[in-house]
Amino acid sequence: MLSRDEGESSGFQIAEKIFALLIILIGAILAYNTSISPSLTFSIIFGVGGLALIILGVIMVTAKIK
């Protein structure tokens, strides 16, 4: 049987993984839209921002909570 602390941390881990997947999705959409319309004024900034969000999301998915 799980104690209250373990149950709360389990819920937190699930929420963190869902949030990380959401960040990856937003980063992928941003990077994709930037790559298909290069006429955007700040295309390099948005492309780098999208890739940074993808990397952040991957780090969050692979990280373990103590």
HSE, CB side, 13 Å, CA atoms: give it for residue 58: 8
DSSP 3-state of 45 = helix
The per-residue pLDDT for 1 is 46
DSSP 3-state of 42 = coil
Residue 63 phi/psi, 5-degree rounding, is -70, 150
Domain locations in the chain as residue ranges = 20-66
d(CA 13, CA 7): 10
Contact 13, 33 (CB under 8 A): no
Digit-coded pLDDT (tens) for 18-59: 999 999 999 999 999 888 887 767 788 888 999 999 999 999
